[in-house]
């Protein structure tokens, strides 16, 4: 590295909600930012239009963004003539970053890989638990207060050679397949953008979406929500699932025809693990709450608690590399914006 490649301490601002700044960045992160950059304001920007915000934006070179960041559009960029990098401390950049950022040549970084890890772990855990029907059987045990005999145990439960279907070889989908490879599962993959050779690399059989739903005991959704994927999981696909099959959704609720899903689980035909729904916050009288064969979790698969530290470490590692002119490791290519979650 030559002296000319070393930047003067850049001016950095945070743009995210105050709660996110406190939980993701925190005092330790602020200390690290101050060590390598100028941070003219400790509080994060939550809007870009006030005179105070515009004054700060005029000098900023790097925005560290997170959940709650306002949209960085052409008007914001006009107020930030020196902005060179956006480092996002979460996964999806679509709610915050626009085409204009890429058009101006701004480097965009995402912590998607760090946020993917707990989703992968959650998905694997749910696949294994559902294969053993742990939640259902624990409920029965609590009710009956006795251990069923081996003869009373359904011979269809268990995880040996269970067929698991992965819908989309996204970053999370690929992570799940890597972990499944270490277990005695048979993995099927549906992704129109993947070649058979790539599927084989992950130990998976490449199939159509119809085959995925018809053949698998468990189907896990990892598709980004795009105009073309909204309602992708139709009533016809849900009706084609095996009796007792499981749908796991950690992606987006709107991927699924929720009325059809509600009908299928209410009839007891299939089971579901839903970390996301449509709407995201289910109404208090939604019938899914009362379905014994449905587990609804409060969008917790992604980074929470101490897992947020992983997001900060990735983001500030990238800031450090950018400051000294080293290659960034987690940049988002322009063409990925339209296909990201």
Q: What is the pLDDT of residues 60-106, one digit of tens each?
A: 999 999 999 999 999 999 999 999 999 999 988 888 999 999 999 99
pLDDT of residue 341: 57
pTM exceeding 0.95: no
pLDDT at 46 over 50: yes
Residue 324 in contact with residue 5, Cβ under 8 Å?
A: yes
Active site residue 334: no
pLDDT at 43 over 50: yes
The arithmetic mean of pLDDT across residues 170-198, rounded, is 96
pLDDT at 139 over 90: no
The span from the CA of 120 to the CA of 126, in Å, is 10
Residue 93 in contact with residue 331, Cβ under 8 Å?
A: no
The span from the CA of 36 to the CA of 32, in Å, is 7
The arithmetic mean of pLDDT across residues 310-323, rounded, is 97
Looking at domain 3-110+305-336, its CATH superfamily turns out to be: NAD(P)-binding Rossmann-like Domain (3.40.50.720)
The span from the CA of 191 to the CA of 209, in Å, is 8
The mean of the pLDDT values for the chain is 94
pLDDT of residue 305: 96
pLDDT of residue 155: 81
Bridge partners of residue 294, in order along the sequence: 272
pLDDT of residue 339: 65
**Domain ranges for the chain:** 3-110+305-336, 115-296
Q: Which of 183, 299, 330, 334 is catalytic?
A: 299
Beta strands in 4-113, from DSSP E residues, in sequence order? 12-15, 62-65, 85-88, 107-110
pLDDT of residue 7: 58
Q: Fold match between 3-110+305-336 and 115-296?
A: yes
Q: Please give the CATH number for the structural domain made up of 115-296.
A: 3.40.50.720
pLDDT at 312 over 90: yes
At 4, is the pLDDT very low, low, confident or very high (cuts 50, 70, 90)? Answer: very low
Residue 242 in contact with residue 271, Cβ under 8 Å?
A: no
The span from the CA of 317 to the CA of 331, in Å, is 12
Residue 177 in contact with residue 169, Cβ under 8 Å?
A: yes
DSSP notation for 177-214 = HHHHTTTT-EEEEE-TT--HHHHHHTTEEE--HHHHHH
């Amino acid at each position: 590295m030559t002296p000319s490649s070393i930047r003067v301490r850049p001016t950095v601002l945070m743009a995210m909600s105050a709660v996110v700044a406190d939980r993701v960045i925190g005092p330790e992160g602020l200390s690290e930012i101050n060590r390598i950059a100028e941070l003219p304001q400790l509080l994060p920007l939550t809007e870009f239009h006030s005179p105070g915000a515009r004054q700060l934006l005029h000098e900023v070179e790097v925005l560290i963004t997170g959940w709650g960041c306002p949209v960085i559009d052409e008007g914001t960029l006009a107020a930030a003539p020196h902005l060179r990098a956006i480092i996002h401390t979460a996964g999806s950049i679509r709610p915050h970053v626009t085409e204009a950022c890429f058009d101006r040549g701004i480097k965009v970084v995402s912590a998607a890989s760090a946020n993917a890890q707990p989703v992968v772990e959650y998905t694997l855990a749910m696949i294994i638990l559902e294969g053993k029907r742990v939640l259902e059987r624990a409920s029965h045990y609590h009710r009956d207060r006795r251990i069923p005999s081996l003869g009373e145990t359904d011979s269809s439960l268990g995880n040996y050679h269970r067929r698991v279907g992965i819908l989309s070889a996204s970053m999370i989908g690929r992570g799940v397949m890597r972990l499944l490879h270490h277990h005695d599962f048979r993995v099927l993959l549906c992704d129109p953008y993947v070649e058979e050779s790539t599927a084989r690399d992950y130990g998976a059989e490449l199939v159509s979406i119809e085959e995925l739903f018809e053949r698998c005991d468990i189907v896990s959704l990892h598709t980004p929500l795009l105009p073309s994927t909204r309602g992708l999981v139709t009533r016809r696909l849900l009706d084609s699932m095996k009796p007792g099959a499981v749908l796991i959704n950690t992606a987006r609720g709107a991927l699924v025809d929720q009325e059809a899903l509600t009908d299928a689980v209410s009839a007891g035909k299939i089971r579901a693990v839903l970390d996301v729904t449509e709407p995201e916050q289910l109404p208090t009288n939604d019938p899914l709450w009362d379905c014994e064969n449905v587990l609804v979790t409060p969008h917790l698969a992604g980074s929470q608690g101490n897992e947020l530290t992983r997001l900060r470490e990735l983001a500030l590692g990238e800031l450090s590399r950018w400051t000294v002119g080293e290659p960034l490791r987690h940049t988002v290519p322009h063409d990925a914006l339209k296909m990201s979650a």
